Chains A and B, each alone.
Chain A
């Protein structure tokens, strides 16, 4: 559990927040805004909190506001993992 990839993110999003019927999460979503994927801040709070627990990282409070896309969120998570002591 030392890197955080798209597959894992999609899996966690589905578990923590469900998925919008019209959105294909298995497609190329890396740079699609979370909003367009059907995820609001609550969905992301739930998902981020799960990531923090599963990966033993602490992400800043602002992560949900800062990370607008899956790629941005994954970068922040992977930075967190790299800095983990």
Chain B
């Protein structure tokens, strides 16, 4: 039995510290534009290099926005079998590859109790890429509607329901506890971490493999963002197209990718001498109840989410050493977010480095919050803050310290990560070194 050993017997709940159960990250796996694996990812971010380019995954020439941050992902080289590649959408492929890396990093395989182990994944778009191409196939590119039941992939139902992705990971980690998908559009990657941490704190699991994956650089996604001019059309300069907080920013660059974490109860991690990257100590989400795509002027909901997440962590704004911004590089977001940071952090907002790594890896929708969390965990580890690339002409309305162009060595003990998304969702996550937080 792979889960036997020094770990608690199946079904036994590990008791947390007397003051309550705390939740930590003990493993990280990444599939990102510019590199597969957390090390390459961190190298890209700290070098301030951008991974945005002209779309190569399909012929984007008929579209308005033709730049994206694509992953150089070779599924065979990444260890997937031909059957898995045929069966799984790219989103699930990313999740499995990143999941394996996280498990290996944490060294937890063989030390989990299935009943006490869960899987929670975030995604905004699920298997959109497969659904898009399968639709083209079954409809002969829209010319006819084939209903031959043998037409189209045998795995259409797995593409239909994104819960299939979490199920695959559950089998890999032998999870028989809580399993599911959290989907809140572009805040999914932050919200799934908050949800998983809640489940561990509550005692529903001791270990959860969690994170978010999206691979939706496909015609339907590009078309719908074209329709609302949310993406940049800076097609002649793809490498510098994502320009958060820059005066000349004019939309986001679509990205793809995945980050998966081993999330673990603190005592469980200590008992097995696990390396601890970060504690997940606070999370909150708010709806703006205003628009499915737009932001209202004041940033009240984002500010309240930040305040609530800090309250949950029992942190004063002054404790925060770094803010990982949503920073999507739409005109509206970056101003809205700057206002929300000032509203929630007060004068400290001006003292804290704030950066948007979307300048380098684009905006991978639901996955990006998890990718940003991975960056935050590594910032804690290395005491380095990744920069905001392409920020050469500051916007007078965005007047915080956005760490332009080059990474900065900086003592980081506690981090606030912010996310904003369609549906009106505004979320905040707080990470810290466990010793920073005297509970």
Q: Is there a direct interface between A and B, measured as CB atoms under 8 Å apart in the complex?
A: yes
In the complex the two chains form, is A41's CB within 8 Å of B294's CB?
Answer: yes
Given contacts A41-B228, A61-B229, 9 further A-B contacts (CB under 8 A): A41-B294, A42-B291, A42-B292, A42-B293, A42-B294, A45-B227, A46-B227, A49-B227, A64-B229
Residues of B within 8 A of A15 (CB): none
A-B pair count, CB < 8 Å, reads 19
In which size bucket is the chain B interface?
under 10
Whether B418 sits at the interface, judged by CB under 8 Å, is: no
Whether A36 sits at the interface, judged by CB under 8 Å, is: no
Q: Give Cα A41–Cα B294 distance, bound, in whole angstroms.
A: 8
* Chain A interface, >50% SS class: helix
Among B388-403, those with CB < 8 Å from A are: none
Residues of B within 8 A of A45 (CB): 227-229
- Name the distance in Å between B289's Cβ and chain A's nearest Cβ: 14
Whether A40 sits at the interface, judged by CB under 8 Å, is: yes
In the complex the two chains form, is B229's CB within 8 Å of A40's CB?
Answer: no
Residues of B within 8 A of A49 (CB): 227
Q: How many residues of A contact B (CB 8 A)?
A: 8
Whether B428 sits at the interface, judged by CB under 8 Å, is: no
Encode B275-312 as 1/0 by CB contact (under 8 A) with A.
00000000000000001111000000000000000000
Whether B259 sits at the interface, judged by CB under 8 Å, is: no
Encode A39-59 as 1/0 by CB contact (under 8 A) with B.
011100110010000000000
In the complex the two chains form, is A61's CB within 8 Å of B233's CB?
Answer: yes
- Name the distance in Å between B249's Cβ and chain A's nearest Cβ: 13
Q: Give Cα A45–Cα B227 distance, bound, in whole angstroms.
A: 7
In the complex the two chains form, is B228's CB within 8 Å of A42's CB?
Answer: yes
- Name the distance in Å between A13's Cβ and chain B's nearest Cβ: 16
Residues of A within 8 A of B293 (CB): 41-42
- Name the distance in Å between B411's Cβ and chain A's nearest Cβ: 42
Among A25-41, those with CB < 8 Å from B are: 40-41
Residue of chain A at shortest CB distance from B290: A40
Among B215-258, those with CB < 8 Å from A are: 227-229, 233, 250
Can you list 7 A-B contacts with CB-CB less than 8 angstroms, sorted by A residue number? A40-B294, A42-B228, A42-B291, A42-B293, A42-B294, A61-B250, A64-B229
Q: Give Cα A45–Cα B294 distance, bound, in whole angstroms.
A: 13
Residues of B within 8 A of A46 (CB): 227
Residue of chain A at shortest CB distance from B250: A61
Residues of A within 8 A of B229 (CB): 45, 61, 64
- Name the distance in Å between A47's Cβ and chain B's nearest Cβ: 11
Other-chain residue from A40, A61, A64 in contact with B291 (beta carbon distance below 8 A) = A40
Residue of chain B at shortest CB distance from A63: B229
